Structure 1
């Protein structure tokens, strides 16, 4: 027997047996795959039903405060007038578009109006004026039939909603009275359905079962078509293999070599490698498929590269958000970009009291529309939308956490199609998050400012004073510069407190602090050192400059007048100690000690005066 014949027989032998096995395994996999796809799709559709139920309950929950805070209903319930409570509840049901409204307490149901066919009930606890639990409020604006139709519209499958006693709604005829299984197969009207159910809370202690049904006929049909297709492919391949065995044997080695070389180049990342596809045999087809696979791999890698770029962009934006957590302008820029990208807008911007703070995209012919919608949102203090021939715009006011203060407005715009309801909802959510972020920044700045500011005087506190002294002393040492320090103490301040009271004493301390602040430069650091003792750090100032500032402050304090209870005027004075590096000291503690020592020399020398501190060996200023 020739090699060609043996090769043909060998080829047939290694093809027939594996193909039978492949057919068996493939048919089993097709069945399992189609059923798995059907189950996965059913679970996804079930999640849609869960989401619709949750959204309906959330919608009802938004209406609960209007019922729970209704004064007439509360009065009727408190007075035990159930008839009046029921009438008022019926009015509220009609006004709010509720399907059912139920109020109960420990004694049982007090009010129950509307259809018993309501689902997706929102539950709130009712409290009396003392904050004690009074009862429970349940309400819903969705009936079971409406819910079932909505789920069928969104999920595209049949729905059965069953209460504890009977079927509340169904999109199929003659649904069974029994509760359908959580997962399984049921027969309805001679048709098998794959069913997935989930429990949901209804009114009172009732548990509602929501079942999603998918016909198995379509699954079996898909299995049959897939098996037929797979069988046809296998049969065709088998016939081609037998028919072309002789021809394949002649070019087998060369073609295998071509494939091997192309595979090696592909493994090295060279996707330009192409297998020669001469002829019309199976190897030529395989070569074509190989080349197609190489092109697809190249395309997939390109897609992965683009996805990686998008992921990196998202991660960078997230990193920017973390890095700029307390940077108002950076947060606004990130918030505007995220909001505009999230709703597919052409652009967006944030404006505040200082004008435009951040923008992405050009306004163009939509500028007037955007200005109008922003003005409307600022005037009403509520989200606004405006459509024009050229496009649409949305605006959302940025509010402070407390009060009615509006910090600014975020707006987006798009040419062409208007914004969908889901896009509007997402925009208002994202804009609200921008407002929360800005409020967090403002609160942080307030806390940060309070942490280093004395509440009574408005000056820096002792901690900030010490930090500033340390940094300025180090800067003066590094650059061989001067650093001045003035310390002052209000004369006879204890007598002011004892004679006129601490309230007047606080007024005196605040007024003296104001004079000190007004006489200080922008770079100076006035601070409350302790009690009635104040200080001011003077970067770049020598001893004579510190002395001159102290004299100006002393003169300003002398001019202060405070009304007294006896109709006269209270006047105060202060004593000052001026020191500087290097004239008075060479380090942090030495400078404070020198200024403090000079202050007490001024006290002992008659008060209402300024004394300089000169360290030993230093030449006093002329």
Structure 2
């Protein structure tokens, strides 16, 4: 019901009818007020007629023209046509009914002191008045009363008329007025409905329909000419003009939007291009910074490597340093450092690092390396046409070979492998090639200096004929070796070897034959004593072998092994057999029985 109520109120015609009803309310109130006033006037007139009749009855009784009963009956009968069956009663002060006409409540003379009518008259008081009360017959009437006479002979006259009769004409008039008012309301509602339908609802409905279609995006809708109120006609014209302006505005907006869209696309394209340029510039700067940082680290490692290599005395000392430094420099790659052998016929592994270096050979011929053939760096790519070096242990991965030069000579080759082009993650082949070249150059100079220092030192501590360590080396080494064994709480032994009848060899076969014997013994010593064992030539036919951490028994066993091996030598010189070579071997052991290191040689 509530929804229906709101739906009804939402219509223009409904609101017009409601407005009509509201406007007629004051008229209805005026009409109803006039009817009520007319009813009150007629009621007062009827009551005044009753009061007049009561006054006339009092005058006739006071004048003594008739008996009280006759006066009452005569006047009520005379005025019945005017007041429609009035009931008149004459009372004495004690409440007895002296006369009544018509006598509808029983014969006169009865005691009615307790009657409601008489009690209300006494209560109201005064010589005259009107009231509404139940009569002696219990019927409610409107009464007029009057009191006259002296205190001893006081009389009360009441004249009443039934309320239905009293107000019948007034009520009939009031009902006719209400019916007329209702008819006027219905007529006004019909007129309002008709006006709302023709002049308001239909034009407004067209406007509403057009508005809904326009809200759905159909801007080609027009209201056109409508018949109705002039305001609605004006509104329809203004509405059509508004829609035309809106349609034009939409077209302009669409054109503007297209231009803005094109401009936005062009701007976005420029922004993307600029962003790409900035991104490329940023990436380039980042790569440049990363490259500079890598180069700085590379230079740091290379400088440290160079400093350490310059401090090395032998090639053996360089192995661990090169392995650690190049493993850091070429992280993620593998590699091997090769040097030419002393005879220059092959290249020998010095050290290596990484995952694949074990696959590289220990030695190879110079012709097996394209870098040594061409005298320049050689880059092998499995997907390119350059062939792999024969010494490359794995041809499925890329590699770089760089010759190591020093003082115009080729000292060896640096071989780096691991991944396509021998490139570590995040680096290009060109950068790795540059780094390999720089490293090979540093290694070539450093290793060349070390070899030169070794050669110079060998001239001072090596015997030129046999290649064994000489007396100077023994003097420099024996005492430190004894000290080292002392710290380790281990013994140290020496073997003193003297070739028997060496002067006879020289005298019989010549000094050249003697040199053959000395060289043969020296080679045997180098073969039998390796590692920490140090064979030396003291001079002439005398040899010495230092045996660190060897006790006397071990030394004697080695001495016997040496003597037997020398005795088995078969030596020839210029096609002549030199016969059997025999030697005398002495053994001395520190700290027992020799307690002083200096006495080991003299023992």
The TM-score with structure 2 as length reference comes to 0.37
The TM-score with structure 1 as length reference comes to 0.36
